[in-house]
A and B are shown apart, each in its own frame.
Chain A
Amino acid sequence: MADAPKTKIEVGLAGKTTVMEVEIPAGDPPPYKVGERPVTGKRRPRLDGPQMVTGRAVYTHDARRPGMLHARILRSPHAHAKIVSIDASQAERMPGVIFENPGKDTVRYHGEAVLALAAPTRAAAEDALRAVKVVYDVLPHTVSLAAARKEGAPLVFQKPVEEKRSAGDVPGAAASVEQKGNVRGPKASGRGDVDKGFAEADGTLEVVTTTTVQTHVPLETHALFAEWVGETLEVQASTQGTFSVRDELAGVLKLPKDKVIVRAEFTGGGFGAKFGAGDYGVFAAKLAKKAGKPVLMALDRKEEHLAAGNRPDSWNRVKLGYKNDGTVTAVDYESFGSAGVATGTGTGGFVKSAYGFPAVRVAESDVFTHLGPGCAMRAPGHPQGCFAVETALETLADKLGMDPLALRLKNDPSEVRRAEWEIGAKEIGWSRRAEISKSNAAATAAGSPLRRGLGCAAAVWYTFVAPGSQVIVRIHRDGSVEAENGVQDIGGGVRTPIAMVVAEELGLPVARVNVKIGDSRYPFGPASGGSVTIGSLIPAVRAAAVHAREKLLAVAQKLLGVPAGEIALANGVFSAKGKSADFRKVCSRLPGETLVATGDRAKDYDGADTRIFGAQFAEVVVDVETGVVGVKKVVAVHDCGQPVWKTGVESQIRGGILQGISYALFEERVVDERSGRVLNPNVEFYKILGSKDTPEIVPILVDFYPGKNNAHARGIGEPATVPTAAAVANAVAHATGIRPTALPITPARILDALGTVPKREVKA
């Protein structure tokens, strides 16, 4: 077989690109050339903004139909119990109340669903819930990572547990691993010769870091509206995956996929917790079937905290072998984490991919506890792993008396990231670091409470692609243009970049493109997890738009009598050799009523690194008298390939940073060990960063051409949140001289480390 034709493309950082020969799949347009994009890559307002700021955007919570029932779930108040009996007789007598009882015999966490019901109003459903009497036989529980690891701890599962995966997880084979007691693992991975690396080292050091459970808290709690129309289940879902909800419902209810329609026009946030239909969604569908009425199931905030997912906690041990010049020769990395009754707590991704460590050995174990299931959360495992590794690197820098940034550069072979370190260091004023140390020393001498600090950390993420994404562009005879894909918008604003790409290819104003998304009847689109949305979708959008343009040019060729190849299409006008026709006129000559062009996401071809890099710098002020930390400024330098909609990319970066600061300083699920109950399933004592905790943020994108697809498209949602907590922790260490090894960095922890907390009662 003859070699497929090769195309030369430019890849790399702008100004330093190199030419590479790649095999572009048939039908896929060649990638953008350097500096080629008239529309995409720019800032502009989001297209659906006007609906959202005026309250007209309809979310799943807002679904209302005549006769609609409101569903609620009865949940376990115990961490571990046998369900002895359920008496719903009183609730059954309430008007219009229907039940769905899955007949569970055991509950394994506070907040686990026991049964669901629906009633004509939410208040009536609440009344019915209160009227159901459940008798539990309370069993022993284990709710802390440390306690659950111990021999003799109450077992969460009697049998081995297989890993469940969602679209939000890092792809990879879910290896079958050993399970002993509550510990499932270790799962081993790595690269290089670690023993050799340690043998060659001048020294070794070890750090242990811990992080606590973070809850997603999307402002719209999980919700699903279900309505049966004949044999078809029509659903509106607050989801990150229109198609993953469809597939789960079809699977559980044993329906063919064409009998399940899922719409997700607006979703009030997800962050990894909203991929499937969930038990709540299945309840809604079953209750709707039973009642013959539409049903809305919207979880409340407490349910969201207890049962709808979280970022697992972690215990991480990092052992570095190093040379005295700061070069790391080997890393031995071990993690334990608890996702409650679920799996998937590994934090070793970062250590394997962020830096150029020659040898890395990773052992990751899940520890089961009687707590609600963890799940994917924005860059699963990575903020935890980044905090562990960056803490180890800074500890090494301290030990060697090196500048922490210089130490990172010793270990960072990535050209892109090296550029990012340089840009970020300049923007934050890294050169002030020594001066800040001096003024901190002066403040200490003067007994003044405020200290300042600078810190940095690296981001890494990956260019995952959801295969099979497809986009249809329709152009009608009246000149109107539609772009269709079933993808949902969880806040990234995906309508806008889709419209920009189509508008660019068709020479039209962006607002002329009517983007239709959030419906499983449209062509397949990616679930929004793993930062795959843009990278999976945009090349398909561009392919569809290019095909549509080609078809229009064929019509224009007839109209203008000029070969299509010589016709230019810009600003709504087809023109060549002094002849021209406007867009509408060409469309009026379409051979059929509608021109339909399809674009498929072609397979990735060769290009630059598959990793997405970033570097963040934080400046903090620490009040050493009270332990309160304030973040003043964050500089975030990221690679996002060629951004399509720059405003949206910058918004994602800001959001990732704010979630990272919140994780670094505030967020902590508190569990009462005796009862096994979560004490703060709310947003009052589960503390989330607010307006007055928000620093100045400077997002900077490096101009990078990664190749691999026709748009140099990559995601940004996850990488932006990976390094923030570590950068803040490192800045706190610079400010105070104490090295945080546990997140969140609470006033209690700072004061304790500073030694100002009295150990005993204060006597008169």
Chain B
Amino acid sequence: MADDKSHPPDRTSGVTRRGLIKGIATAVTAASAGATALLVETRHELEAANPSGPMPVSIAVNGVARTGSFEPRTTLAEALRDSWGLTGTKVGCDRGACGACTVLLDGLAVNSCLMLVHDADGRKVTTVEGLGSPEAMAPIQKAFVEADALQCGFCTPGMVVSCAGLLAKNPSPSAYDVKEAVAGNLCRCGTYTGVFAACEAAAQGKPEVTRG
């Protein structure tokens, strides 16, 4: 990975580095915890002295150090999906109103479409891929499958991450807590009752799931 060390950001002035920058963003490791799409390189050839040129970022995504240089306007969702191959995080409305882009930032559920990637610099991000894999699903993921808490599946990663965030801080949530935890996740297929059942079952460690 070529983070251009010869041109560090000028932190003193609080503004970006100057000079010709060839920013390259790519995953630093092939051990991508289950990237679903091809890992790709995104190159930004930029003019000299572009003050809004790429700036470096380093984030622990699913326990793997991810680095890259991004234009300041880049959102965390774009970095995850376009540069790091983590397309499990979806973009449904791109305005923080649907929750399909939900990831955990230091354990808290946030909208990755409304967060600039540089705001996550140095922090820990968990995406749906980081919770489990098809072969080794997290309990909440297993419970989603058991409860058929999914239809088209496009809102599902966000729902799963919201529930995982809830269970991490509240291992025995009430029915109200579960509804509140996914109040920012929109599902158009109508899987909510399955989501409630899955979250409650995962909380109780129940193998069987019944839907209300």
List residues of chain A with CB under 8 Å of any chain B CB.
45-46, 49-59, 61-66, 68, 95, 120-123, 216-221, 266-271, 300-301, 489-493, 647-648, 650-652, 654-659, 682-684, 688-692, 694, 696-697
Contact = CB atoms under 8 A, between A and B. Distances in A.
- Greatest chain A CB density within 10 A among B82, B137, B148 is at B148
B200 to A, nearest CB: 13
B20 to A, nearest CB: 15
Interface stretch (B10-18, B104-112, B116-124, B181-189): B181-189
B38 interface: yes
Interface string B35-47: 0111011111100
B137 A54 contact: yes
Given A62-B36, A267-B152, A658-B190, A55 B88 contact: yes
B89 interface: yes
A645 to B, nearest CB: 10
Interface residues of B, number: 72
Given A49-B144, A54-B134, A654 B154 contact: no
A49 B137 CA distance: 11
- Greatest chain B CB density within 10 A among A54, A688, A690 is at A54
4 A-B pairs with least C-beta separation: A55-B88, A268-B154, A658-B190, A491-B152
Contact of B87 (A49, A55, A123): A55
Contact of A56 (B36, B44, B91, B194): B36
B40 A45 contact: no
A654 B100 CA distance: 20
A683 B97 contact: yes
A50 B145 contact: yes
B172 interface: no
Interface string B180-212: 101101111111111110000000000000011
Contacts of B36: 55-58, 62
A689 B179 CA distance: 12
A219 B88 CA distance: 14
A267 B188 CA distance: 13
- Greatest chain A CB density within 10 A among B40, B42, B89, B93 is at B93
B144 A53 contact: yes
- Greatest chain A CB density within 10 A among B95, B146, B187, B188 is at B188
A53 B190 contact: no
A651 B141 contact: no
A219 B188 contact: yes
Contact of B129 (A55, A221, A694): A55
A58 B94 contact: no
Interface in B111-167: 127-129, 131-135, 137, 141, 144-146, 148, 150-157, 160
25 contacts: A50-B141, A52-B153, A53-B137, A53-B144, A53-B160, A55-B127, A55-B128, A55-B129, A64-B38, A122-B82, A219-B90, A219-B98, A268-B90, A491-B153, A491-B189, A493-B151, A650-B211, A652-B151, A683-B93, A683-B98, A684-B97, A688-B186, A690-B192, A692-B179, A694-B192
A63 B178 CA distance: 32
A65 B40 contact: yes
Nearest to A65: B38
A691 B182 CA distance: 6
A675 to B, nearest CB: 21
Given A659-B190, A682-B97, A218 B154 contact: yes
B157 A491 contact: no
B190 A52 contact: no
A648 B153 CA distance: 13
Contact of A54 (B37, B93, B141, B196): B141
Given A53-B144, A66-B41, A219-B152, A655 B189 contact: yes
A176 B195 CA distance: 47
